[in-house]
Chain A
Amino acid sequence: MARRSTRGEARHASPFSVWLMRHAQTFLASLGRLSNAPFATLLTSAVIGVALALPMGMYVILNGVNHLADDWEVSAGITVFLKKGVEERRATELAASLRSRPGIVDVTLISADAALEEFRRHSGLRDALDILEENPLPTVIVLEPLVTAGGDAVESLVDELRFMPEAETVQLDLIWLKRFRALTQIAHRATMVLIILFALAVILITGNTIRLEIRNRSAEIEVIKTVGGTDAFIRRPFLYNGLIYGLLGGLIAWLLIGLALHSLAGAVDHLAMLYDSEIRMPAMGVGDVLTLLGGSTFLGLVGSWMVVGRHIRAIEPT
């Protein structure tokens, strides 16, 4: 018959809770040891923090810029070039009917004459244009679709405009946006490469710090081995140290990114004013923060894991 735990036996700790307790004790002991040398601990954590803040900050800002581009995508203007034979009266009618449609914020009619006049003024080709017998420019209607309409609505509007008999070509002003997207994509790639490189740096920094700690505590390790401490027992506090360095480094990186974004806030507000739009300040979401802290903790653990085994094995009681 299986032994059932009676009330009396339940008072004894289960192996799991003993294990958990031992880990909690080691964690607290590591924390205590590190807080005994606050300057050294802070220094190591700060190095990790700076190493993480750089790529992570770039990532956050880049994400903000991408959100901005999403807004611009739907607010991009539509330019309708009318056929040459379309009379000005008909063009005005068209503009008026478009203006009354939902989903369109603004309609601007630029007559061929007005366009030529403006071109004359700005291009510096006044004399050359005078030679022309007739106006080469078409009449143009510029539409500004509603921002909230969304990309699909804009696309279908463009398709509809293309079917108008008066329309020669319809252009969605997306080319610059596509170029911009391509640029941010490169920046994104570069950030990813940076994240990998700096993650590697964090692993190496933690590993080296732990290696020195092991060397400084070799006398203690010798004694523990003499009295029968296993490698796992000796390893544990060093692993926790690496984990704590990583976590503190992540917190410092979070702080640094916060400060950097705060210092950008004024400039972003100014930009928002210029564009007369609601540009949102890039910020770290809960997911970003958790990724940063979890990632940095993990990297610290990996860094110490990489050195503890070999260096602890090398120390034997003499």
Chain B
Amino acid sequence: MIHFDKVSKRFPGGQEGLSDISFFVDHGEMVFVTGHSGAGKSTLLRIVGLLEYCSKGDVRVGGYDLSAITRIQVPYYRRKVGMIFQDHRLLHDRTVFDNVAMPLVVSGAHHSDIGKRTRAALDKVGLLSKERFPPGVLSAGEQQRVGIARAIVARPPLLLADEPTGNLDPALSLEIMHLFEEFNRVGVTLLIASHDRDLIRTMNKRVISLNEGRMLADSAASRGTPEEVNDGAS
């Protein structure tokens, strides 16, 4: 599903975001990317989501060679990837429903489909009763769930989550993670950036650890326990 081959990212300012990263994520995997802030987690996710091009190396996602995707084609690629952010990125001048429906609207889905699928996504995150609310009146956990509903509404095969639980307490964080596990069970591939080591340990999934833009460890390669990997990252 995701194939990084000697990928580096250098920013216009000259600083190195990622250097020489290689890994492979299979269809239906759920993988955590961890490391300190500034380790390159977000950059890695942004490259997969094509919010950014890599500077060197090869990135292949779901059969696409990302460096070959032109500006015009980028939106069509992004429709196949659901993205979740720590700050939710919801629009506060419209309802929860309209926020979640947005990916369907931009891809030109049929009007009746939009209603059905948006409500299904809201139902999945348990917010169907709040579809008419503006997101501003919801709690942080609920807002994050609106963001998740928006990411899954178009049923993309790949979900990227950048610190999805960064602002949530442990109980709510775990709730979100169980939601992700549920998506994973129906075949969605997930790549989750998080620095919450306790949470990652609880989930017991594959972990890719980064440090200053370099690959520190990949629990799939060593098949060590997630605990060891996480300790190594600290």
Contact B51 A224 (CB under 8 A): no
Shortest B69–chain A CB gap in Å is 12
Contact B106 A316 (CB under 8 A): no
Task: For A12, give the chain B residue with the smallest CB separation.
Answer: B110
Docked CA distance A230–B74 (Å): 8
Task: For B83, give the chain A residue with the smallest CB separation.
Answer: A226
Chain A residues, Cβ within 8 Å of B89: 219, 222-223, 226
B102 at the interface (CB under 8 A from A): yes
Shortest A149–chain B CB gap in Å is 67
Docked CA distance A120–B163 (Å): 107
Docked CA distance A89–B233 (Å): 129
Task: For B107, give the chain A residue with the smallest CB separation.
Answer: A228
Contacts known (A219-B91, A222-B89, A317-B51); A228 close to B103, Cβ less than 8 A: yes
Docked CA distance A229–B150 (Å): 14
What DSSP secondary structure best describes chain B's contact surface?
loop
Contact B106 A230 (CB under 8 A): yes
Contacts known (A22-B108, A219-B91, A224-B102); A229 close to B75, Cβ less than 8 A: yes
Contact A223 B75 (CB under 8 A): no
Question: Within A210-241, which residues are at the interface with B (CB < 8 Å)?
Answer: 219-220, 222-231, 233
B205 at the interface (CB under 8 A from A): no
* Selected contact of A228 from candidates B72, B79, B93, CB within 8 Å: B79
Chain B residues, Cβ within 8 Å of A219: 89, 91
Contact A227 B76 (CB under 8 A): no
Chain B positions 43 through 82: 1 when the CB is less than 8 Å from some CB of chain A, otherwise 0: 0000001010000000000000000000010011111000
Chain A residues, Cβ within 8 Å of B90: 223
Chain A residues, Cβ within 8 Å of B93: 220
Contact A226 B51 (CB under 8 A): yes
Contact B91 A228 (CB under 8 A): no
Interface residue range, chain B: 20 to 34
Of B75, B102, B154, which is in contact with the most chain A CB atoms at under 10 Å from its CB?
B75
A18 at the interface (CB under 8 A from B): yes
Contact B78 A227 (CB under 8 A): yes
Task: For A229, give the chain B residue with the smallest CB separation.
Answer: B106
Shortest B14–chain A CB gap in Å is 19
Contact B103 A227 (CB under 8 A): yes
Docked CA distance A22–B154 (Å): 19
Contact B78 A228 (CB under 8 A): yes
What DSSP secondary structure best describes chain A's contact surface?
helix
Contact A226 B108 (CB under 8 A): no
Chain A residues, Cβ within 8 Å of B103: 227-228
Shortest A29–chain B CB gap in Å is 10
Question: Within B147-196, which residues are at the interface with A (CB < 8 Å)?
Answer: 150, 154
Of A219, A222, A231, A317, which is in contact with the most chain B CB atoms at under 10 Å from its CB?
A317
Question: Within A303-318, which residues are at the interface with B (CB < 8 Å)?
Answer: 316-318
Contact B108 A18 (CB under 8 A): yes
Task: For A33, give the chain B residue with the smallest CB separation.
Answer: B93
Docked CA distance A263–B103 (Å): 55
Chain B positions 77 through 116: 1 when the CB is less than 8 Å from some CB of chain A, otherwise 0: 1110001000001110100000000110011100000000
Contacts known (A18-B108, A220-B91, A223-B102); A228 close to B76, Cβ less than 8 A: yes
Of A22, A228, A318, which is in contact with the most chain B CB atoms at under 10 Å from its CB?
A228
Task: For B76, give the chain A residue with the smallest CB separation.
Answer: A228
Question: Within B134-156, which residues are at the interface with A (CB < 8 Å)?
Answer: 150, 154
Shortest A31–chain B CB gap in Å is 17
Task: For A18, give the chain B residue with the smallest CB separation.
Answer: B108
Docked CA distance A220–B94 (Å): 11
Contacts known (A22-B108, A316-B51); A230 close to B102, Cβ less than 8 A: no
Shortest B71–chain A CB gap in Å is 8
Contact B106 A233 (CB under 8 A): yes
Question: Within B17-64, which residues are at the interface with A (CB < 8 Å)?
Answer: 49, 51
Chain B residues, Cβ within 8 Å of A224: 102, 106
Residues of A within 8 A of B (CB): 18, 22, 219-220, 222-231, 233, 316-318
Interchain residue pairs with CB less than 8 A apart (5): A220-B93, A222-B89, A226-B51, A228-B154, A229-B75
Q: A227-B83, A317-B51, A318-B51 provided; 14 other pairs, C-beta below 8 A?
A: A18-B108, A220-B91, A223-B89, A223-B90, A225-B75, A225-B78, A226-B49, A226-B78, A227-B150, A227-B154, A228-B75, A228-B103, A230-B72, A233-B106
